[in-house]
Amino acid sequence: MSVLTTQTNTNQIQAVDNKLMPLAPSYVGPSVQPTQEVSLSDVLGILYRRKWTILLTLLSILALVAWYTFSIKPSYRANATIQIEREGAEIVDFGRTQQPTSSVDSLNDPFFRTRYEMLRGRVVAQKVIDDLSLEESLSPRESENSTSVISSVLALVGLGGDKKKNTTNNVDYTGIFAKNLLVQPISGTHLVEIYYEASSATEAKNVVSSIVNNFITSQIQSKSETGEYAKDFLDKQIIEAGDRLKSDELTLVKYANENGILSVDEGQTRQVKKLENLDSALVEAEIRRIEAESLYLQMKRAGSVSTVLSNPVVTSLKARLVGLEGDYQEMLKTFKPNYPDMQRLQQQINAAKGKLRTEMSTIQRSMEADFKAAKRQEDKIRNELSQFNTTMQNLQDSGVDYNNLKRNVENSNKLYSSLLQRREEVNVASQANTSSISIVEPAITPVAKYRPRPKVNLLVGLMSGLILGLALAFLRESLDKSIKSSDDLEKLTGLPILGMIPRVTKSKMKKQLDMIAFKMPQSAPAEAYRILATNIRLMFRADEDHVMLITSVNSGEGKSTTACNIALSYAQMGKKVLLVDADIRNASLHKKLEIANKHGLTHYLKGEIDLVGITQPVKKIPGLYAITAGQYDVDPVSLLSHERMSYLTTQGGSIFDYVIIDAPPVNGFADSLVLTSLATSTVLVAREDEMNARSIKGVLNQLRRVKNNVAGFLLVDSKNPVVNAKYYAKYHSKSKKELLLENKKQSFA
């Protein structure tokens, strides 16, 4: 301790005690890297770590599938294909009782969806069960229930339903039947495949055939029932229409009788003809009256008319008169008017004129009589025509109501006739019903078993087990907060792995592990510690104070052994090293270095002794000095927080090449948080197989809140260390042999 003696005196210590010395430049560790994407190597690493989980899951699933496959009772599956059309073959084109549907053909068409549901329905199922007496084959058996793996698993986890008693009253046969039935429409066609699974091939075939037959029969019966309903409905309507027609006819006849309307003469032709005759007679009467009146007035005014002149009596009289007058004129030439012959001739002329006047008067009176008769006839006809017009007007007024009643009768008659015709058509059509369902491929007896299918089941089990195993592996990986490799630790923290100490298995090496860098320098762990020391040394500048804090997440991870071997490694490199045991609660460095612990760090921090008094050299290792922990009788945090501890690190960093502080674990203690503020770098020691992500993150967050100087990690008990023990031993043995050979050659020379 001559170095400390020459450079340190009591006055300096007291001056530093009164004033806190500035801290050494701090090391700023690398920042946390962002979370990287999962690579293929990460996935392969997970699969390798969880290989037993995947394998056990896969084998378990395969065992369950094999047990289920070879324990269930074999079953057979038969099928048939039918074609469903909207309408069957049309025998007659009348009497339809169903409205044609639209022309849309698809799986979503309500018409076809209805038919599919009818195939799956309870009505068809119950008919098939009754026809084939399937109650016994559909009854659940206790032996089958006990061998059903699925039922057992569900019952084990509490999801299985209550078992139904094997009684007729409590068994839903149609429900069990529906589970074995599959109705599969073929997309884009009118074809439907019907599958049924049964314990025997014959039963499967018979059930499918029965389903098809019952479905076709039910469709025909449905049409027939519709026709019967239509006939009953039409019969009722015909009776009501007949009663209505009869009532309308009675009302029409009664009204016609009351109003004098001859219903036989539907167009009233008789009245029209009579009216026409009266009109003609009136015209003729008017003509006769006009003619008679004209002759009478002419006769009266002129005394003669053409009719009179053409009268034979008048003509003869006039001719006789003309003759007599002619004779008289001849005789007048000879005789005198008094001549007797002349007088006799004059008398004859007067007599002829008298007869002519009498005849003319008679004719005039006859003409007057004809005129008056024609006038009376005209008046009579006119009067009769006027009366008939009045009658026709009354009849026309009555015809409005009559026509309404008549139309009611006609409408009732048409309805009645139409219903009678429709009734006959429906009767014929209902007897000519055909099915719109045809069998394309009938059911045949299956030859091969449908289930179990060992190859398919085992393949499914293999895939399921593999998928489930992978899922469980990744689930366990996500729930597992431990860190599996150094790569995981670097990705999690963003800090480098400074060293990896191999796992020591030999008991002899375990005993020397505390100072293995000194006692077994050619061993793999010693080389690993030297690599760690070199990595740390290269992280700092040569002119920088090196105050290194060695701590761990939890206790028992080898931090004290690491601190001791790093100090030994630096000392072997020719460096001057101060090793401080700051783990006051669990001091161990004095035992590892085999030095006394009479005066230590606690005595200095309490002011009982100076730095020179507590610093002691390790005699076996030149350049290595140690400060033991001292007595644990005061709270360590209060002691380590004193200014003397800051002075120790400052002075040690200026005098020694490296100051290495063995600190308590971070979890559960505040000592390391105080000490890390005084160090230039902090190294975390972790056991490779006990790394926990949450704990490591928590420790890093605590340390970085105080000072961001965490340099990296040292992994102990590493399975894949940088230095392989076998390779290192082989290499050293080879080097020794070569060295011996070289020495022998030199000696011979």
Do 628 and 743 belong to one domain?
Answer: yes
Domain boundary among 408, 441, 474: 441
Question: What pLDDT score was predicted for residue 248?
Answer: 79
In this structure, the dihedral spanned by the alpha carbons of residues 635, 639, 641 and 647, taken in order and rounded to 10 degrees, is: -170
* Range 696-715 average pLDDT: 90
Instruction: Give every CB contact of residue 236 below 8 A, 6+ residues apart in sequence.
Output: none
Same structural domain, 729 and 635:
yes
Task: Say if residue 581 is in the same domain as residue 532.
Answer: yes
Same domain for 417 and 284: yes
Residue 13 has pLDDT above 90, yes or no: no
Euclidean distance between CA atoms 460 and 455, whole angstroms = 8
pLDDT digits (tens, 9 = 90+) for 382-401: 887 787 777 766 666 666 67
- Please say whether the beta carbons of 120 and 175 come within 8 A: no
Note the pLDDT of residue 257. 75
Instruction: Give the number of other Cβ atoms within 10 Å of residue 90's Cβ.
Output: 10
- pLDDT band at 93, cuts 50/70/90? low
Which residues, listed in sequence order, are joined to residue 686 by a DSSP beta bridge? 715
Give the model confidence (pLDDT) of 665-679 as tens digits.
Answer: 998 888 989 999 999
Query: At 577, which amino acid appears?
Result: V
Total count of domains within the chain: 3
% of the chain with per-residue pLDDT over 90: 17
Length of the chain, in residues:
749
* Cα dihedral across residues 542, 544, 545, 547: positive or negative: negative
Q: How far apart are CA 490 and CA 86, in angstroms?
A: 72
Name the token pair of 415: 């309805």
Which one is predicted more confidently, 342 or 741?
342
Q: Is the pLDDT of residue 475 over 50?
A: yes
* Average pLDDT of the residues in 176-183: 90
Query: Residue 627 above 90 pLDDT?
Result: yes
Bridge-based pairing state of the strands 76-84 and 191-198: antiparallel
The pLDDT value recorded for residue 4 is: 37
Rounded to 5 degrees, what angle do the CA atoms 569, 570, 573 make?
90
Q: Write the DSSP assignment of 501-563 as a string of letters.
A: EEPP--HHHHHTGGGHHHHSTTSHHHHHHHHHHHHHHTTS-TTS--EEEEEESSTTSSHHHHH
Degrees to nearest 5, angle at CA 384 with 380 and 387: 145
Q: Are residues 494 and 367 in the same domain?
A: no
Residues 205 and 324 in one domain: no
Label residues 575-598 b or e (16+ Cβ within 10 Å = b).
bbbbbbbbbbeebbbbebbebebe
Sheet holding 181-185, edge to edge: 181-185, 191-198, 76-84, 437-441
Do 673 and 542 sit in the same domain of this protein? yes
Q: Are residues 216 and 338 in the same domain?
A: no
CB-neighbour burial class of residue 61 (10 A; exposed 0-12, middle 13-18, buried 19+): buried
- What residues have CB less than 8 Å from 728, skipping those under 6 apart? 522, 523, 524, 527
Confidence of residue 20 (pLDDT cuts 50, 70, 90): very low
For the stretch 368-395, what's the b/e string if a residue is b when 16 or more beta carbons lie within 10 angstroms of its beta carbon?
Answer: bebbeebbebbeebeeebeebeeebeee
Smallest CA-to-CA distance from 184 within 167, 201, 196, 170 is with 196
> What kind and span of H or E run contains 154?
helix 149-156
- State which amino acid sits at residue 111: F
510 Cβ contact partners less than 8 Å away, ≥ 6 residues apart: 504
- Please give the structure tokens belonging to residue 688: 């490779």
683 forms bridges with which residues in the sheet?
550, 712
Q: Hey, what amino acid is at 161?
A: G
Q: Kindly give, in sequence order, each residue whose CB lies less than 8 Å from that of residue 270, ignoring residues fewer than 6 positions away.
A: 262
Q: Comparing C-alpha atoms, which of 549, 547, 495, 476 is closest to residue 715?
A: 495
Residue with more model confidence, 728 or 173:
173
Q: Which residues of 302-334 are buried (b: 16+ CB within 10 A; e: fewer)?
A: eeebeebeebeebeebbebbeebbeebeeeeee
Max mean pLDDT among 95-99, 266-270, 503-507, 572-576 falls in 572-576
- State the CATH number of the domain containing residue 658: 3.40.50.300
In a domain, 45, yes or no: no
What does the DSSP 8-state code read for residue 712? E
Instruction: Give me the pLDDT at residue 102, please.
Output: 47
Give the per-residue pLDDT at 244: 84
pLDDT confidence of 164, banded at 50, 70, 90?
A: very low
Which amino acid, one-letter code, is at 552? S
- CA torsion sign for 347, 352, 358, 360 is negative
Q: Reduced to 3 states, what is the DSSP secondary structure of residue 207? A: helix
**Among candidate residues 378, 410, 441, the one where a domain is terminated:** 441
Q: Are residues 84 and 180 in the same domain?
A: yes
Q: How far is CA 21 from CA 105, 610, 648, 682, in A?
A: 95, 16, 10, 21
Separation between Cα atoms, residue 499 and residue 353, nearest integer Å: 189
Structural contact between residues 610 and 13, judged by C-beta atoms closer than 8 angstroms? yes
Residue 107, in any domain of the structure: yes
119 within some domain: yes
- The number of angstroms, rounded, from the C-alpha of 732 to the middle of its chain's C-alpha atoms is 71
Asked if residue 535 belongs to a domain, the reply is yes
Element at 158 (helix H, strand E): none
d(CA 135, CA 177): 10
Per cent of the chain over pLDDT 70 is: 76
Looking at residue 30, its pLDDT comes to 44
What is the extent of the structural domain holding 310?
269-431
The CA dihedral of 363, 366, 371, 373, to the nearest 10 degrees, is -170
700 lies in some domain: yes
Amino acid at 496: P
Distance CA(188)–CA(224), nearest Å, equals 30
Torsion angle (degrees, nearest 10) of CA 518, 523, 525, 530: 60
CATH number of 401's domain: 1.10.287
Same domain assignment for residues 68 and 29: no
> Is 48 a domain residue?
no
What pLDDT shows up at residue 209?
92
Among 406, 441, 476, the domain boundary falls at: 441
Sign (positive or negative) of CA dihedral 286, 290, 296, 300: positive
Q: pLDDT, tens digit, for every residue of 248-265? A: 778 877 777 777 665 445
pTM of the model: 0.47
Q: Which of 676, 686, 602 is nearest to 644 (CA)?
A: 602
Element containing residue 661 per DSSP (H, E): strand 658-662
Pick from 88-102, 335-349, 361-375, 693-707 the range whose average pLDDT is largest: 693-707
To 10 degrees, the CA torsion angle through 53, 57, 58, 62? 160
Same domain, 27 and 131: no
Each residue of 126-163: pLDDT tens digit? Answer: 989 988 888 888 887 643 444 444 555 444 444 444 44
Backbone angles phi, psi at 260, to 5 degrees: 65, 30
In this structure, is residue 12 part of a structural domain? Answer: no
Distance CA 159, CA 613 (A): 76
Q: Which residues contact 492 (CB under 8 A, 6 or more apart)?
A: 483, 693, 696, 697
Looking at residues 451-476, what average pLDDT do you find? 88
Displacement of CA 705 from its chain's centroid (Å): 52
* Whole-number average pLDDT of the chain: 77
Question: Could you tell me which residues are beta bridge partners of residue 718?
Answer: 502
- Domain assignment of residue 740, yes or no: yes
How confident is the model over 341-367, as a mean pLDDT? 82
What is the C-alpha end-to-end distance of the chain, expressed in Å? 47
- Torsion angle of C-alpha atoms 167, 131, 88, 224, degrees rounded to 10: -90
Residues 145 and 193 in one domain: yes
DSSP codes joined into one string, 285-316: HHHHHHHHHHHHHHHHHHS--HHHHT-HHHHH
